[in-house]
Amino acid sequence: MKIFRITALLNCLFPLAAIAAEPTHHVVDVITDIDNMRMYFEPKVLQVKAGDTVTWWNVHKEDHNVVTYPGGHPNGSEGFDSPFLREIDASWSHTFTVEGTYNYHCIPHMLLGMHGSVIVGEPSTADGFHVPSREETMAYRHRLVEYFDYDELDVMPKNVKTLLGGSPDTAEPAAAIIPNQALPAIAPVESSGM
């Protein structure tokens, strides 16, 4: 009974301490700025606590997704991969339970610099990131070639080029990194005669 009274008294004296322990809901705006030819997440970097939920909210009508890089999330956590947010006010949420840094991007617009980070608690150390398996890396490769030609893959950020199996310090073309036999078959498009 004495402990209950002390707890009740502390909650009355310090009500914000009780509230601060509750999980928080955060919103990241998914922005398409046609006038300035930019697509981005706002805020680009968000610091949260374990147990908090982040919702990505599509502000404009444009296809976007929210995907962690295969090696862009903490050890012991799962990466995330949202469905496409296609309509105005479309949203997707993720609750973060493992502390560390989650680096994410929009695959179709990654060359426009559409990426961000959620830091849960303390940031991950260099050796604190998930090391993707061969299967995870191959699945990511295949997703990229759905959106990008080889010449576009050649200008990918260094961390993505390294993940694809190339060296970020050379001009090794993507065609050498991702040989044709490793790519999914793509049916030819027939001309409609127009």
Confidence bin at 173 (pLDDT 50/70/90): very low
Question: What are the tokens at 172?
Answer: 């090794």
Q: Collect all residues with Cβ–Cβ distance below 8 Å to 148 and sequence separation of at least 6.
A: 111, 156
User: Using one digit for the tens of pLDDT, what is the confidence trace for 58-70?
Assistant: 999 999 999 999 9
Neighbours of 39 (CB within 10 A): 20
Contact present, 46 and 117 (Cβ < 8 Å): yes
CA nearest 77: which of 95, 57, 55, 65? 95
Q: State phi, psi for 127 to the nearest 5 degrees.
A: -95, 10
Owner of token pair 């959106």 = 147
CB half-sphere exposure, 130, CA atoms < 13 A: 24
Average pLDDT, the chain: 79
Q: State phi, psi for 67 to the nearest 5 degrees.
A: -135, 130
Q: CA 36 to CA 186: how far, in whole Å?
A: 34
Q: Assess whether pLDDT exceeds 90 at residue 125.
A: yes
Neighbours of 74 (CB within 10 A): 21
User: Using one digit for the tens of pLDDT, what is the confidence trace for 140-157?
Assistant: 888 888 887 766 666 666
Confidence bin at 83 (pLDDT 50/70/90): very high
Instruction: Tell me what pLDDT residue 142 has.
Output: 84
Domains of the chain, start order: 21-129 (2.60.40.420), 132-180 (no CATH)
User: Using one digit for the tens of pLDDT, what is the confidence trace for 8-67?
Assistant: 444 544 554 445 569 999 999 999 998 998 999 999 999 999 999 999 999 999 999 999
Between 151 and 102, the more confident residue is 102
CA dihedral 176, 105, 126, 174 (to 10 degrees): 10
Owner of token pair 């990229």 = 144
